[in-house]
Amino acid sequence: MAHKILSTKNIKIDLEELFSGKDVEVIFEKDGLTAFSRLIKERFDFVIVSEHDEGLDGSSLIAAMRAINSPNKDSAFIFIGESDGPEDCYTFLPSELDEIKDLFELLLKSKTKDNMTTGFSLSSRGRLRKILFVDDDKEMHPLIQKGLKSIYNIESLICSSGQEALDKLLLFGPDLIILDVMMPYISGTELVKKLKEKEETKDIPVIFFTAKEKIKELEELLEMGPIGLILKPVNPKTMSYEIQEIWNEA
């Protein structure tokens, strides 16, 4: 069954070329208002909107869909514009065609449609609600935050050190911890060992965030029992989906 995508006609991207050869059905609506009218009645896997849509701009359309009880309340939205999009969607500049293609390659390779709804996908361990991200490089934090904000209805906390993570861990109560491997004082691998020593934290799933590239090094990290690896450099455009994909499939 084809994946269904709704797009407003104000999008300056050749979607037919983008989805050539894919099992995708694309529906076009002339503006934000007609898109809204369709979205309150019909379910789509993805919705692509622009900040300049007439009648109802992209940001307002997304906010309306999240606020009402519609078939697309939990759908994945792609916002295209020069300004920042809403927090619960993927945001791209009109010129970022390659990045948009990369995102859809990730989205469309999912095994089932149920795995594609950002932030609401289920795995055997339940719904992903809270993420603790630990990285000592504070310059990375805005990129990480940008990537995490695309996961709808997810609460996130970013810590700058292993000790800060340990201090805040129990109060925050994360479903998932994402750890930078190379950190001073308490490295990511050392932090995992500390987590496994305590009954209340030993079963919290962990993803390693790493710049390591050698196969042997990656194998050694996997032997520590994380549910997956995310390789640097971070791509905030697709990071949220990488996290969700690992969560679903682990």
pLDDT of residue 116: 37
> Residue 226: which domain range?
122-249
At which residue do the structure tokens 């479903």 appear? 175
Indicate whether 117 belongs to any domain: no
pLDDT band at 53; cut points 50, 70, 90: very high
CATH number for the domain spanning 61: value is: 3.40.50.2300
Q: Are residues 172 and 145 in the same domain?
A: yes
Mean pLDDT of the chain: 82
User: Is the domain of 78 the same as that of 29?
Assistant: yes
Share of the chain above pLDDT 70, in %: 86
> Is 213 found in the same domain as 154?
yes
Number of folded domains in the chain?
A: 2
- Of 83, 109, 135, which closes a domain? 109
Q: How far is residue 180's CA from residue 208's CA, in Å, rounded to a whole number?
A: 6
Q: With a cut of 90, say whether residue 34 has pLDDT above it.
A: yes
pLDDT at residue number 161: 95
Q: Is residue 170 scored above 90 in pLDDT?
A: yes
The pLDDT, as a whole number, for residue 151 is 67
Residue 7: φ, ψ to 5°: -135, 140
Burial 203-241 (b: 16+ CB within 10 A, else e): ebbbbbbbebeeeeeeeebeeeebbbbbebebbbbbbbb
- Residue 116 in any domain: the answer is no
Q: What is the pLDDT of residues 89-134, one digit of tens each?
A: 788 888 877 777 777 766 665 533 343 334 434 456 667 889 999 9
Q: Which of 13-22, 54-63, 188-197 has the lowest mean pLDDT?
A: 13-22
Does 231 lie in the same domain as 140? yes
In a domain, 115, yes or no: no
